[in-house]
Amino acid sequence: MSDPVSSCTARLQLQEQEIRTLSAEIESLKNPQSLSPSPHLEQLRDENTKLKYRLNILKRNLQAERSHCSKHMMNVNLLLQDVFGDAIRASCPELDDPPLVVTPNQQAKFGDYQCNSAMAMAQMLKAKGIKISPREIAEKIIQNLPENDLIQKTEIAGPGFINVHLKRTFVSKLLSNLLLNGVQPPPLASKKKVVVDFSSPNIAKEMHVGHLRSTIIGDSMCRMFEFLGYDVLRLNHVGDWGTQFGMLIAHLQDKFPDYLTSSPPISDLQAFYKESKKRFDEEEDFKKRAYQCVVRLQSKEPEFIKGWNLICDVSRKEFQRVYNCLDIQIIERGESFYQDMMTEVVKEFEGKGLSQLDEGRRIVFAPGQSVPLTIVKSDGGFTYDTSDLAALRQRLFDEKADIIIYVTDSGQATHFQLVFAAAQMIGWYDPQVTRVEHAGFGVVLGEDKKKFKTRSGDTVRLMDLLDEGLKRSMDKLKDKERDKVLTPEELLKAQRSVAFGCIKYADLSHNRINDYVFSFDKMLDDRGNTAAYLLYALTRIRSITRLANIDEAMLRKAAETTEVLLDHEKEWKLGKCILRFPEILQKVLDDLLLHTLCDFLYELATTFTEFYDSCYCVEKDRQTGEVIKVNMWRMLLCEATATIMAKGFEILGINPVHRM
């Protein structure tokens, strides 16, 4: 007993001493004669100066490290931010954390990038009582720009915008690197673990369009993280545990008494579910048995586990058909996986005194949240709150995830907000260190802007939708008489590529937060920002080299020896556009909004068209069609565009074909 007493005494003494020091300091502050700051402050200032110095060294080395790995694509925006960051800090040492804004410019006359920090800095200085115009600050920033190899010139525009013109040689060099090394992600400081929880349908229920969105968006996020070099764990958090399994198993026992020895031929699980639900509602005996079954299943009696597995397997097969169509890799780890952990979660909240009883329920109030989480129901059962807390805990501590993302509809936003707040409260993670995020999305609407239903008013089965897509895609190909050009195999490939590519792209190209209107007509249109257009654009670019009789080896040789000239305005525009890929990915990484990537690919395709319309790549004899001259540097630009587009498709989960 003496130990805690003495340690408490020591703590109290320490606190009292601190109180005395603080009171003394307050007294001395009251005394206007001693204007000299406390020695402690002096010490902290020194420390701060040293830390700033160290930060600068670390940043510089980080930058050096980045540019050393020239194999990797460089984020031009980030490089500019480093350069401007240095200049801004040097121009305004008064500001502790000056704003740093560098954005690409849309209009060529304003240069390639723009730094807009001066205005915000002037505001901040004004608040500190220093009057200085944004233009003056902008001038100072320009004076303080460190030596670099990427900026050609800068100019001040308007109230204090700094327009940045990139060096052509710099852009050209980056393009050559891209051609030689392929699309390499910017270097990653450390390999981080990402858990993406997506798709997550319910066993014994049909997958619907909501699951389609989660599946498409989640898969694309995973692909992006994988490309960037993260260690990604794709988790399918299926609903495989709950009271509904009691009635399903009870019904199974009645309908297929020998289910333990021979697999029951359940083809339509949904019908099976409806039957059992009907009995559950109508037969009192059945209902009782169903409850008993739940208890026996949860106590893991082998017969019941077997029955549960049988039912799950039927659903799994259904799901897998969808995943095969959409080329989705995912690991199933349903709610049942977390069963035992839920008990521990409850214990932990109880043990730390963070939960309370409320009319028989055990609830948890997280700071700043008006609604509590229910972690134990009054009947002793667990809830989604409990299972999601358990899953989060397992992902943080067992999977050691650095980033955890939940891709579900926005309707669950509040639920996840509560779960995250509770997890932070109990100290499972620090949001400064670990990124735990709910990436919500809006609902799918029909073309009538109403909830997406079949004509008869039923929920649309996902498989039916995909089949419809295939059919529409084939119709479109035949309309264009592609069936006459392509071999049957090529035609089939094109059909799948267009159908699933369009479904995915239509989803991804809209801001996921908004509701989205599902329309086959729109997604299959080969004009505008659609997969159809982009897929055609890519095959067309690929065909340019093919028609000029240039093979991969020749392109590679050219990339080594030929400088990518960027003298023509459209060449310059295209070159810069290509190199924006890393900064686009950075943005998507930050906000998880994949439509930015789609917009970029569309912009790249249209920029390419502008380039192709005004710059000859291959000159041919008008009569014979013979190739007279190949402008190799332009072929390289074509190749670079195609490489980036292909990589973009890969991240979006769209599978381009060589011919269509």
Partner 1 sequence: AQKTKVSENDVKPKKEEVAVNGEPKAEQGKSLMEQLRGEALKFHKTGENYTTEGYVVTPNTMSLLKKHLEFTGGQIRTRFPPEPNGILHIGHAKAINFNFGYAKANDGICFLRYDDTNPEKEEEKYFTAIRDMVEWLGYSPYKVTHASDNFQQLYDLAVDLIRRGHAYVCHQKGQDLKGHNAPPSPWKDRPIEESLVLFERMKKGLYAEGEATLRMKMVMEDGKLDPVAYRIKYTPHHRTGNEWCIYPTYDYTHCLCDSIENITHSLCTKEFQARRSSYYWLVNALDLYCPVQWEYGRLNLTYTVVSKRKIIKLVEAGVVRDWDDPRLFTLTALRRRGFPPEAINNFCARVGVTVSQTTTEPHLLESCVRDVLNDTAPRVMAVLEPLKITIVNLPENSRSDVRVPDFPANEARGSHTVPFTRTIFIEQSDFREVMEKGYKRLTPEQPVGLRHAGYVISVQKVIKDAQGKVVELEVNCCSSDSAEKPKAFIHWVSQPLVCEVRLYERLFLHKNPEDPSEVPNGFLSDINSNSMQVIRSALVDTSVKGAKVLDKFQFERVGYFSLDPDSTEDKLVFNRTVTLKEDPGKI
Interface residue list for partner 1 (CB under 8 A):
50-51, 53-54, 56-58, 61
Smallest distance from partner 1 to CB 55, Å: 8
3-state SS assignment for residue 374: strand
Judged by beta carbon, residue 63 or residue 606, the one nearer partner 1 is 63
In degrees, rounded to 5, the angle at the alpha carbon of residue 575 between the alpha carbons of residues 570 and 576 is 100
Angle at 319 between CA 318 and CA 320, to 5 degrees: 95
CA gap 62, 513 in Å, rounded = 35
51 or 130, CB closer to partner 1?
51
What are the residues whose beta carbons fall under 8 Å from the beta carbon of 154, sequence distance 6 or more?
111, 142, 145, 162, 163, 164, 165
459 secondary structure, DSSP code: P
Question: What's the rounded Cα separation, in Å, for the pair 581 and 530?
Answer: 19
Nearest approach, Cβ of 440 to partner 1 (angstroms)?
Answer: 39
In this structure, the dihedral spanned by the alpha carbons of residues 170, 176, 179 and 185, taken in order and rounded to 10 degrees, is -30
Cβ proximity to partner 1: between 35 and 64 the closer is 64
Residues 6+ apart with CB under 8 A from 532: 476, 498, 501, 502, 523, 524, 525, 526
**How far is Cα 533 from Cα 435, in angstroms, rounded to an integer?**
36
> Which residue, 62 or 357, is less far from partner 1 as judged by CB?
62
Closer residue to partner 1 in complex, CB, 53/616:
53
Q: Cβ distance 642 to 538 under 8 Å?
A: yes
56 or 459, CB closer to partner 1?
56
Q: Smallest distance from the beta carbon of 45 to partner 1, in angstroms?
A: 13
Within 10 angstroms of residue 41's Cβ, the number of other Cβ atoms is: 11
Residue 348's SS3 state is: helix
Cβ contacts of 268 within 8 Å, gap of 6 or more: none
Q: Label residue 229 exposed, middle or buried (CB < 10 Å: 0-12, 13-18, 19+).
A: middle
Supply the minimum distance, in Å, between the C-beta of residue 107 and partner 1: 37
DSSP string across 540-603: HHHHHHHHTT--HHHHHHHHHHS-----SHHHHHHHHHHHTHHHHHHHHHHH--THHHHHHHHH
- Residue 35 CB, nearest distance to partner 1 (Å)? 20
- Which residue, 57 or 260, is less far from partner 1 as judged by CB? 57
SS3 at position 404 = strand
Q: Which is nearer to partner 1, 58 or 180 (CB)?
A: 58
Tell me how far, at minimum, the Cβ of 433 lies from partner 1, in Å. 19
Closer residue to partner 1 in complex, CB, 56/631: 56
Nearest to 198 by CA among 499, 420, 409, 419: 409
60/71 with CB nearer partner 1 = 60
* CB half-sphere exposure, 302, CA atoms < 13 A: 1
Q: Which residues pair with 628 in a beta bridge?
A: none
Tell me whether strands 113-115 and 151-157 are parallel, antiparallel or unpaired: unpaired
DSSP 222-259: HHHHHHTT-EEEEEE--B--STHHHHHHHHHHHH-TTT
Min CB(189)–partner 1 separation in Å: 12
Taking the complex as a whole, how short is the minimal distance between the CB of residue 188 and partner 1, in angstroms? Answer: 17
Give 43 or 61: the residue with its C-beta nearer to partner 1. 61
By beta-carbon proximity to partner 1, the closer residue of 8 and 58 is 58
At its nearest, how many Å lie between partner 1 and the CB of residue 4? 32
Q: In the bound complex, what is the minimum distance in angstroms from residue 52's beta carbon to partner 1?
A: 8
Number of other residues whose CB lies within 10 A of the CB of residue 452: 21
Phi, psi of 87 (to 5 degrees): -65, -40
Nearest of 208, 230, 631, 637 to residue 451 by alpha carbon: 208
Nearest distance in Å: CB 59, partner 1: 9
Closest approach of partner 1 to the CB of residue 525, in Å: 53
- Indicate the residue among 145 and 564 with the shorter CB distance to partner 1: 145
Q: How far is the CB of 344 from partner 1 (least distance, A)?
A: 38
Angle in degrees, CA 373, 377, 380, rounded to 5: 140
Please give the Cα distance from 255 to 258 (Å, whole number): 9
Closest CB to partner 1 among residues 22, 188: 188
Shortest CB 46 distance to partner 1, Å: 10
